[in-house]
Chains A and B, each alone.
Chain A
Amino acid sequence: MSPHLQVWRWHITMATSILHRASIFALYLGLLLLAGWLVALAAGPEVSATYGAVIGSPLGLLVLFGITVMVFFNLAYNVRQAFWDLGHGFQLKTAEATAWASIAFGVVAAIAFWAGLAIRGVL
C-alpha cells in the first residue's frame, strides 16, 4: 500500500485520480465486450442470441451499467485533463469543482443513457 493512501486525508481530486485509473479497467472490459458483440454478430444468429442472453442477464446488465458510468466519467475526466494541458483549471477550487463535475457527469450521463435504453424496452 502506498503511504499516501494511509496517511493522507482523502480529498476529491485524489479520489477522482484513483477512480480515473480504475475506470481504465472498465473501459478495457467494455471494449472487449464490444469486440465480442461484433464477433458474435458475424458468427451467426445462434451465437448472437447466446451473447445477447448473457449480456442481457441481470448480472450482465449490472456490469454494463458500471461500465457506462466509468466510461462517461473517464470521458469527462479526459476533457478536464485537456484543459490542464492548456494550463487551465489548477486553482484548488476549480480542480475540486471539476473533479465533482466529472463524477456527476459520469452518473448523470449513464442514468440518461439507461433511461433511453429503458424507454426502448431493455429493462
Chain B
Amino acid sequence: MSDQRFRTPRAIAVGTGSAHHGVHHFLVERVSALALVPLVIWGGFAAVGLVGADYGAAMEWISHPINGVLTGALLICGLIHAKNAMQVVIEDYIERFITKAALLLLNLTVCTLAGALGVFAILKAALTGGF
C-alpha cells in the first residue's frame, strides 16, 4: 500500500519491507488447522479406546496401519501447526535479534526432533514390536 513516491531509491533497493513469505505462512496455518479438525477428533476417540490397554495391546494398536499412519499424521500436522504458531508468538514478542533468532531455531529444532522421534518410534513399534 505504501506510496513509492515517498520512498528513496535506496530504501526500495535495500528491500527491508515485506519478505513475501507471509501468505505461505498464513496458508500453512489455515490448511494445517483444518486438517487437524478430523485428526484431533479421531485422536480423541482413539485415546478413549486405548484406556486400560496393556503394553501388548498398545503395541498391537499402533501396529495397525490405520492407527500408525493416522497417529503419524496427527503428530506431524500438529507439529507443523504448532511450529508456525509458536514462530509468530516469538516474532511478535521478542525484539532482540539474537534472542529472537535463537528461539526461532530452538522452535524449529524441537518440532523437527519431536516429529522425527515420533515417526521413528511408530515405525519401530509397528515393524518390530507387538511382542
A92 beta carbon closer than 8 Å to chain B: no
A39 beta carbon closer than 8 Å to chain B: yes
Minimum Cβ distance to chain A for residue B47 (Å): 7
- On whether the beta carbons of B82 and A82 are closer than 8 Å, the reply is no
- On whether the beta carbons of A78 and B52 are closer than 8 Å, the reply is no
Residues in A neighbouring B74, C-beta threshold 8 A: 34
Known: A27-B78, A27-B81, A117-B47. A38 touches B118 (CB 8 A): yes
CA distance A21 to B92 in the complex (A): 11
Q: Which residue of B is nearest A113, CB measured?
A: B44
B36 beta carbon closer than 8 Å to chain A: yes
Minimum Cβ distance to chain A for residue B56 (Å): 8
- On whether the beta carbons of A117 and B48 are closer than 8 Å, the reply is yes
Residues in A neighbouring B71, C-beta threshold 8 A: 34, 38
Contact among B52, B79, B82 for A120, CB-based, below 8 A? B52
Main secondary structure of the interface of B (DSSP, over half): helix
Per-position 1/0 for B90-125, Cβ under 8 A of A = 000000000000000000001000110110111011
CA distance A31 to B71 in the complex (A): 11
**Interface residue range, chain A:** 20 to 34
CA distance A71 to B78 in the complex (A): 11
A19 beta carbon closer than 8 Å to chain B: no
19 example contacts (A-B, Cβ-Cβ < 8 A) are as follows A24-B86, A27-B78, A27-B81, A27-B85, A34-B71, A35-B115, A35-B118, A39-B117, A41-B62, A42-B124, A42-B129, A75-B36, A81-B33, A85-B30, A113-B44, A113-B48, A117-B51, A121-B51, A122-B51
Give chain B's interface residues, CB within 8 Å of chain A: 30, 33-34, 36-37, 40, 44, 47-49, 51-52, 55, 58-59, 62, 71, 74-75, 78-79, 81-82, 85-86, 89, 110, 114-115, 117-118, 120-122, 124-125, 129
Give chain A's interface residues, CB within 8 Å of chain B: 21, 24-25, 27-28, 30-32, 34-35, 38-39, 41-43, 45, 48-49, 68, 71-72, 75, 78-79, 81-82, 85, 109, 113, 116-117, 120-122
